[in-house]
Amino acid sequence: MTKEKIERKIAVIFATDVVGYSKHMEANESETIHNLRACEAILEGLFEKHNGRLFNTGGDSFLAEFPSAVSAVECAVEFQTLVKERNSLEETSVKLEFRVGINSGDVVKEKDNLLGDGVNIAARLEALAQTGGITIAKVIHDFVKGKTAYKFHDLGVQKVKQNEFHAFDLLLEPSQKRKINGTTSKFFMVTAVVSVIALGLVIFWGLFHPILKDQASSDVQLAAVNSSSPVMLVYPFENLSSSEEGENLSTAITESMISSLSRYTGISVLSSSTSLDARSKQLSDALIKKFYNANFVVRGSIQTFSNQSRIQMQLADLSLNKVVWTDKVDFAAEDIFEVQDKIGDKILAHLQIEAVAGSEAKSWASKYGTAERLTLFLNSREEWFKFTADAYENHTNIIKKLEEQLGSSSPVLYNIKGWNLVLKITVGKSTDLAQDTAELIRLANLDIAENNDVTSYNLRALVEFRVGSKDCETSKQYAKKAAELGATADTYIVSGSIWVECGDLKEGTRFFEKALRLQPNDSGWNLTKRLIPMYYLQDDHKKIISLVEPHLDAVDIAPEMLAFYAFAKLQDGDKALALEMLDRAKQLGISKASLQRVIRDQSKTEEFIIKLSELGNIE
How high is the pLDDT of residue 425? 94
CB 473 within 8 A of CB 492: no
Cα-based torsion angle of the residue sequence 352, 356, 360, 364 in order, rounded to the nearest 10 degrees: -40
Distance CA 473, CA 477 (A): 6
- Phi-psi map region of 293: left, alpha, beta (phi>0 left; psi -120 to 50 alpha): left
Is residue 252 over pLDDT 90? no
Distance CA 65, CA 102 (A): 10
Distance CA 123, CA 525 (A): 36
Percent of the chain's residues with pLDDT above 90:
42
How high is the pLDDT of residue 192? 33
CATH 1.25.40 at 527-619, yes or no: yes
**455 vs 311, which has greater pLDDT?**
455
Distance CA 463, CA 555 (A): 34
**330 vs 499, which has greater pLDDT?**
499
Q: Beta-carbon neighbour count of residue 192 at 10 Å?
A: 21
**213 vs 370, which has greater pLDDT?**
370
**166 vs 229, which has greater pLDDT?**
166
Q: Is 112 helix (H, G, I), strand (E, B) or coil?
A: coil
Contacts of 404 (CB under 8 A, 6+ apart): none
Distance CA 505, CA 511 (A): 10
Average of per-residue pLDDT across 351-356 = 58
- 238: pLDDT confidence band, cut at 50, 70 and 90? confident
**300 vs 433, which has greater pLDDT?**
433
Average of per-residue pLDDT across 17-26 = 81
DSSP 464-493: HHHTS---HHHHHHHHHHHHHTT--HHHHH
Cα-based torsion angle of the residue sequence 247, 252, 257, 263 in order, rounded to the nearest 10 degrees: 170
How high is the pLDDT of residue 20? 82
Distance CA 16, CA 127 (A): 9
Sign of the Cα pseudo-torsion (451, 454, 458, 461, in order):
positive
Residue 327, amino acid: D
Least confident of 72-81, 97-106, 479-488: 479-488
Q: Is 316 helix (H, G, I), strand (E, B) or coil?
A: strand
Residue among 240, 323, 237 nearest 272 (CA): 237
How high is the pLDDT of residue 1? 46
CB 96 within 8 A of CB 83: yes
CB 72 within 8 A of CB 50: yes
**442 vs 373, which has greater pLDDT?**
442
Q: State the burial class of residue 484 (Cβ atoms within 10 Å of its Cβ: 0-12, 13-18, 19+).
A: exposed
pLDDT tens-digit series, residues 486-498 = 778 889 999 999 9
How high is the pLDDT of residue 208? 33
Average of per-residue pLDDT across 334-360 = 63
Q: What number of CA atoms fall less than 13 Å from residue 73's CA on the CB side?
A: 28
Least confident of 247-256, 297-306, 381-390: 247-256
Burial 435-452 (b: 16+ CB within 10 A, else e): ebbeebbebbbbbbeebe
pLDDT tens-digit series, residues 545-560 = 999 998 888 878 899 9
CB 564 within 8 A of CB 611: no
Q: Are 1-196+208-218 and 527-619 in the same CATH fold?
A: no
Residue among 281, 160, 157, 274 nearest 212 (CA): 160
pLDDT tens-digit series, residues 561-618 = 999 999 999 999 999 999 999 999 998 889 999 999 899 889 999 999 999 999 999 8
Distances (CA, A) of 557 to 388, 408, 560, 588, 596: 17, 37, 9, 9, 18
How high is the pLDDT of residue 215? 34
CATH 3.40.50.10610 at 222-356, yes or no: yes
How high is the pLDDT of residue 584? 92
pLDDT tens-digit series, residues 514-524 = 888 877 667 78
For the chain, the domains span: 1-196+208-218, 222-356, 527-619
Is residue 315 over pLDDT 80? yes
Average model confidence (pLDDT) across the chain: 82
How high is the pLDDT of residue 187? 31
How high is the pLDDT of residue 417? 97
Least confident of 138-142, 345-349, 505-509: 345-349
Average of per-residue pLDDT across 272-295 = 81
Contacts of 614 (CB under 8 A, 6+ apart): 570
Residue among 370, 250, 227 nearest 296 (CA): 227
Using the 8-state DSSP alphabet, how is residue 355 labeled? I
Most confident of 181-185, 310-314, 424-428: 424-428
Average of per-residue pLDDT across 3-11 = 76
Distances (CA, A) of 268 to 59, 215, 592: 11, 23, 29
How high is the pLDDT of residue 184? 41
> In this structure, are strands 134-137 and 113-115 parallel, antiparallel, or unpaired?
unpaired
How high is the pLDDT of residue 224? 37
Beta bridge partners of 385: none
How high is the pLDDT of residue 356? 56
How high is the pLDDT of residue 199? 32
Is residue 198 over pLDDT 60? no
pLDDT tens-digit series, residues 123-170 = 889 988 899 999 999 999 988 988 888 999 988 888 755 567 889 999
Is residue 210 over pLDDT 50? no
The CATH superfamily holding the domain 1-196+208-218 is Nucleotide cyclase, GGDEF domain (3.30.70.1230)
Distance CA 195, CA 209 (A): 11
Distance CA 527, CA 551 (A): 14
CB 85 within 8 A of CB 79: no
Average of per-residue pLDDT across 367-394 = 85
Most confident of 143-152, 175-184, 211-220: 143-152
How high is the pLDDT of residue 46? 94
